[in-house]
Amino acid sequence: MNVYEEDKHSFLKEEDGFLKKALEEGIPILGICLGAQLLAKACRAKIKKAESKEIGWYKVNLTEKGRQDPLFDNLSSELNAFQWHQDSFEIPKGGVHLVESWPCANQAFRFGRNAYGLQFHIEVTPEMIESWINAYTKSEPKESDLKDMLIESYKRKESFRKQADLIYFNFARVIAAQKTGID
């Protein structure tokens, strides 16, 4: 589904309202892929078709601001990222551009002190990727590319999990700092 398909998926309107209220109240948000696009929309940024679909493993790079952001503490400035999307978001006005890549320049942003949108997936497992391949690839990459992507997913499983765990840990620290008023 896509953010702009509210006529097909009416709950997207409710999600937009929910995110706007969470932003107003300063509730921490970590939006991943569609969640990042929904967050960007709630922040009044444009969502549009990406120049090309991204499906598979890509390198993404922290921007200067990304290298300074607590969400990416103790991470390399170049991350391995799993992508599965055809849309992209603009960085919201007042937002901070944290991660970039090619062909989809806007890979992550922060809005306010504790609302983050990540275009790439940090939550996936090889098993999830395999289920997506089985469910969604009728018109996607060639079968041999999909098989290679899945093999790569199993090879990267442990290092990718550690990278994701560090991002989750850092997000928990952002939340704790907000609760205690510590930066």
Catalytic positions, written as ranges: 33, 121, 123
Please report the pLDDT score of residue 135 as a whole number. 85
Instruction: Specify the 3-state DSSP secondary structure of 100.
Output: strand
Nearest-CA neighbor of 99 among 127, 123, 63?
63
The residue among 168 and 180 whose pLDDT is bigger is 168
Could you give the percent of the chain with pLDDT greater than 70?
Answer: 95
Please report the pLDDT score of residue 180 as a whole number. 77
Please report the pLDDT score of residue 128 as a whole number. 95
Is pLDDT at 10 greater than 80 in this prediction? yes
In this prediction, residue 183 has a pLDDT band, given cuts at 50, 70 and 90, of: low
Judged by average pLDDT, the poorest of 105-109, 128-132, 177-181 is 177-181
Q: Are 60 and 88 in contact (CB under 8 A)?
A: no
Q: What is the Cα–Cα distance from 150 to 15, expressed in whole angstroms?
A: 32
State which amino acid sits at residue 132: W
Judged by average pLDDT, the poorest of 62-66, 94-98, 104-108, 139-143 is 139-143
Torsion of CA 26, 28, 32, 36, to 10 degrees: 10
In this prediction, residue 139 has a pLDDT band, given cuts at 50, 70 and 90, of: low
**Overall average pLDDT of the 116-134 stretch:** 94
Q: What is the pLDDT of residues 25-74, one digit of tens each?
A: 999 999 999 999 999 999 999 999 988 889 999 999 999 999 999 999 99
| 117-152 burial: b if 16+ Cβ within 10 Å, else e | bbbbbbebebeebeebbeeeeeeeeeeeebeebbeb
